[in-house]
Structure 1
């Protein structure tokens, strides 16, 4: 997927408003600026930012419930803002972004402020183990921890209706097979739009 194809897909899939597009561009500008000070994404992927990061994040919405008022999205290890910031820009989900690294917390907080999404997005600057439990409608994690540990740490935020959206790259099937049979039944694998060799683990419960 080229950068032009990625932008066209976003417009077609989500009917992105002018204000929303401006927020995406503001975020990109902030990200590129901050990359001069800290290693947020690889330099190689920076040239394919729309495809490798923005659409890669936005595609998760295809498997999430249609957002309603008050619904919560818990994003673990948000890092440079993927997918948490993108979800908050594109939807009315109340997005809680958990990130323990101080400089990234400061960056994410600045992005929330500058893009004007603070009414439904917040950054939790702590380790997940220290975060008080609350029920999440969606739990996502792009590069947080191996699958077994990820579920063990975050399962207390889930209900029987929680949707799990976990991009796992080329390791999706292998990681899924490493779970107990009971937990394997929670998930299935969807192919990523941005990388035919990558998989997204989609689960419920």
Structure 2
């Protein structure tokens, strides 16, 4: 997917208003400027941020359209996918990030995007957060699936939808997790990268 393809997809699939696109552009400028101070995204993706990061995040939105309620994004890092979800929808989104410099960046990004009314940041390790159920949980490059479920299952119910962007190792992660976990698990292709996939989980529970 080219950068032009990415912007075309946003318009066709989500009908993103021009003002929102302008705020995302400002966020991406902030992201690139911050790159001189900390490694937020791979340098090889700087020229492909709309496809590799914005649309890669935004493609989760149609997958969750039947699930209303609050969204939890774990290991938010540079803000993908959580900040993009907050920018493109009216959902209440909670970002979780433990690294201090990343949190400072995310606070500035929330202000730049103008989403402070619906996006909140928890500067803490996932393990220290109180157990609260969310409608949707996302995590990008946070941890292998079995480890992620181990630390985050307490934020879910049988109705929670998990949307987890993964690389080419997605099938292996799913197989490994199935030894300890059960539920409705499937894999969807990523629209941005033929080598990537999205793990879609619901009714997640530990095997007895």
Relative to the length of structure 2, the TM-score reads 0.94
C-alpha displacement of 1:196: 1.1
Quote the residue 2:188 is aligned against. 190
| Alpha-carbon separation, structure 2, partners of 1:115 and 1:108 | 10
Aligned partner of residue 121 in structure 2, secondary structure:
strand
| TM-score (normalizing by structure 1) | 0.95
The corresponding residue for 1:12 is 12
Other-structure match for 2:146: 148
**CA shift digits 1:54-112 (9 cap, x unpaired):** 110101112113464xx210000010110011000000111100000000000001111
After TM superposition, give the deviation of residue 182 of structure 1 in Å. Answer: 6.8
Q: Number of aligned residue pairs: give it.
A: 203
Per the alignment, residue 161 of structure 1 pairs with 159
Partner residue, 1:23: 23
Gaps of 5+ in 2: 204-208
Find the counterpart in structure 1 of residue 79 from structure 2. Answer: 81
Partners of 1:67 and 1:93 within 8 A in 2: no
Mapped to 1, the partners of 2:149 and 2:175 lie a distance apart of: 14
Matched with 2:55 is 55
Q: Over the residues paired in the alignment, what is the CA RMSD in angstroms?
A: 1.3
1:34 aligns to 2:34 (yes or no): yes
Q: 2:97 aligns with which of 82, 96, 99?
A: 99
Give the direction of change, closer, same or farther, for the CA distance of 1:67–1:121 in structure 2 (3 Å limit).
Answer: farther
- Within 2, Cα distance between the matches of 1:108 and 1:143? 17
**Contact 1:177–1:184 (8 Å) recurs in 2:** no
